[in-house]
Structure formats: C-alpha cells, structure tokens
Chain A
Amino acid sequence: MAVAIEAPFHVLAVDDSLPDRKLIERLLKTSSFQGLAFVCVVTTVDSGSKALEFLGLHDHEDSPISAQSDQQEVAVNLIITDYCMPGMTGYDLLKKIKESSYLRDIPVVIMSSDNIPSRINRCLEEGADEFFLKPVRLSDMSKLKPHILKSRCKEHYQQEQHLQSNSESNNSSNPTSENSSSSTSSNSHKRKAVDEEILPHTIRPRHS
C-alpha cells in the first residue's frame, strides 16, 4: 500500500510592516505545534494584492489562472493577514478568498492592533477562523492547531482517495475519473485510520 508523503504545512503571511513580517514568520516556525510531524514553511508578502497574486487569483476573477485547483503550483494551507493595510485591507482580502470557490476552504486568520469588537465580529462573520490581537505572541500560535489538524485530516483523506484511484486505474484498462467512486465504507475506514494517526501526538508546549 502506498505511503502518503507528508507535505510541508505552508502558511502565507500578509503584513505591510517589515518587522511584523519577520515576527510572524519566526512565531510560526518556532511554535509548539511543530510537535506535529511536519515542517512549517512560511511565505510572507507585503500586501493583499500580492497575496492574491501568490494564490493564483486576479482581483477581478474568482477562478485561478490554471483551470484545475489540483494543478495549483503552490499549495497554501493557512493564510494569516494584518487587518490595517494600505490599499486592500485584511478584510477585503478575506472577502476575496471566501468568494473564491477554490480558495474558500483555506483557513484565514486576521491580526489587528485595535481591539474593536465590531471589527472582530465583521471578520468572523465573513468567515475568518481566528482573530489575533497584536502584538502577536507565541501563546497565540496554539490557537492555530485545530485548523492545522483539520486541514491535514482533509489532505490525508484527499490524498488517500487520489492514491486509491491511481491504483485502481493501474489495475483496470478502463479509465477512471480523478475522484473515483470507491465504496464509501472503505473510504471511511481509511479516514478513521488517518485521524488516529494524527491526533494522538502529545503536544507539549515549548514555552509556558
């Protein structure tokens, strides 16, 4: 049986402030969720429009440059963005991501130095998964863990499906579609195995 290769967890960090970009990058790489079995790769950009460009989305479209999402060159697993940025704000960026059919499932975290409840609610209502008050600290990183685990479970599930459809197409002469219709019971069995594999890691915080 094929073994799923553990891809790095890729975070896209968006902030117009240079010291803040360095800080968030370090926080992501240092944090205790590194106890999970993968490498965290961080890409930083200084604006919302550059973020959209990186994600393969143009401002005026909601479809990617390449037609199929599984041909995306760079996979992003989490987006963390500052709220207050010149031009496109973090909120605008969030909206564009959630409006895009192929980006909307990527968890988005908003950061802001202002503690304004209406702003926080607006972001959460628009689909932000977390809201961090700046300055961001190491303890905030643990709030990302559930989103990472959820994202990894989904990936493993999709990867298993993909591998299974590949092995099936190898065995038969008839072409099968990318998302093959294998029996649901065997898929759910596989998914259960994947959940068990990821969740029991004990995460001991590196810093108290």
Chain B
Amino acid sequence: MEYSNLRRQIIFMKKNLFDQGYLDEQFNQLEELQDESSPNFVEEVAALFFKDSSRLLTNIEQAIDKYPQDFYRLDSLVQQLKGSGSSIGALRMKNECSVFKANCNDRNLEGCRRSLQKMKREHATLKQKLESYFQLLRQVGPRDYAVSSRK
C-alpha cells in the first residue's frame, strides 16, 4: 500500500534525524503539542526558527567581519542562536554553538570563523532535512500522522 509505505518512510526519516544527532527529545515535545487545534504547529515553529536563525547568522557574520571584533556581542548572538536551537531540538546546532561560545570566550577569531562556517552548514542541512520530513507528513495528512507519532 502506497500509504503504509509513506508512513514507514516518515518513521525511518525521523529515526535517522535522531540517530544522526540532528534532533533531540525537544522535537518530540513539539510534536506532542500538535493537534487538531494547531495542526501545523511543528512546521510553524520550525519556520520561525529558521527565519530567526538566518537573521542571527547574518548578524554573527557581520560581527566577525567587523574590526575590532566585539567578542562580547558575538557571544551574545551565539547564545541567542543556541537558545532558540535548543527550543526546537536542533541538537547539532546547539552543540556547535557551545564550541562557538568557547571560541568567543578565548577571543579566538580563527576558531570563530570556523564555527560560523560549520554553523551555516548545519543550519542549511537541518533546514533541508526538515523540509523533506514535513513534505512527507503533508502527503500522509495530519490526522493520520497524529496516530503514528504516538507509537
């Protein structure tokens, strides 16, 4: 059956996202909050996160390129990114933020540049993976997904 195939794909995709460390338990928390009264909640929060984090990444890049660098401000921006990342369960991004913060603390400019590049890659990857995931979910339909997520 086409439908059960889709459901299997969804479960497999989600398992991969968790196994590979892209997402953590907080993402499950978001899915628990989704129901008939707010059927697209997870996708909506994710969209807000990507909008917010794109803005922060731009600001971080500007802060790094500006001379002299304000490591205090840089740390504050990364902290904001870490916070919203953890709220949606973006584990890899959250962990990279911790590394980034350590670089800020050490005033390690090269380290900060490396962290920023890594962060941008993680951001793009997560966005793409979640987009695929949500696309599959849309094909299955909200009601049916609610059933399968309780497994």
**Chain A positions near chain B (C-beta within 8 angstroms):** 16-20, 22-23, 26-27, 30, 84, 86, 113, 134-138, 207
B83 and A17 within 8 A (CB): yes
Q: Smallest distance from the beta carbon of B148 to chain A beta carbons, Å?
A: 17
Contacting pair B52 A19 (CB below 8 A): yes
Q: For the complex, is B95 an interface residue (Cβ under 8 Å from A)?
A: no
Docked pose: A27 CA to B41 CA in angstroms: 11
Residues of A within 8 A of B87 (CB): 17, 19-20, 23, 134-136
A57, B33: Cα distance in complex, Å: 34
With A18-B51, A26-B33 already in contact, the answer to whether A134 and B41 are too (CB < 8 A) is no
Is B30 close to A, CB under 8 A?
yes
Give complex CA distance A30, B33 in Å.
7
Known contacts A19-B52, A20-B87, A207 near B32 by CB under 8 Å: yes
What is the bound-complex CA distance between A19 and B47, given in angstroms?
8
- B23 on the A face (CB < 8 A): no
Please, could you name 24 A-B residue pairs with CB atoms under 8 Å apart, sorted by A?
Answer: A16-B80, A17-B52, A19-B45, A19-B48, A19-B49, A19-B84, A19-B87, A19-B88, A20-B83, A20-B87, A22-B48, A23-B33, A23-B88, A26-B33, A26-B41, A26-B45, A27-B33, A30-B33, A84-B79, A135-B29, A137-B26, A138-B29, A138-B32, A207-B32
Nearest CB to that of B41 among chain A residues?
A: A26
Q: Number of contact residues on B: which range applies?
A: 20 to 34
Closest CB in chain A relative to B20 CB, distance in Å = 20
Q: How far is the CA of A138 from the CA of B33 in the complex (A)?
A: 8
B44 at the A/B interface (Cβ < 8 Å)?
yes
Interface residues of B (CB under 8 A from A): 26, 29-30, 32-33, 35, 38, 41, 44-45, 48-49, 51-52, 76, 79-80, 82-84, 86-89
Closest Cβ–Cβ distance, residue A14 to chain B (whole Å) = 14
Closest CB pairs A-B (n = 9): A19-B49, A19-B48, A135-B87, A113-B83, A17-B84, A135-B26, A18-B48, A18-B52, A137-B29
Q: When chains A and B are docked, how far (Å) is the Cα of A20 from the Cα of B49?
A: 9
Nearest-CB residue, chain A, relative to B35: A30
Distance of A195 from chain B, by nearest CB (Å): 31
Q: Are A17 and B80 in contact (CB under 8 A)?
A: yes
Q: Which residues does chain A contribute within 8 Å of B82, judged by CB atoms?
A: 113
Cα distance, A137 to B83, chains bound together (Å): 14
Known: A20-B83, A23-B30; 13 extra A-B contacts, CB below 8 A, are: A16-B80, A17-B84, A18-B48, A19-B49, A22-B44, A22-B45, A27-B33, A84-B80, A134-B83, A134-B87, A135-B26, A135-B87, A135-B89
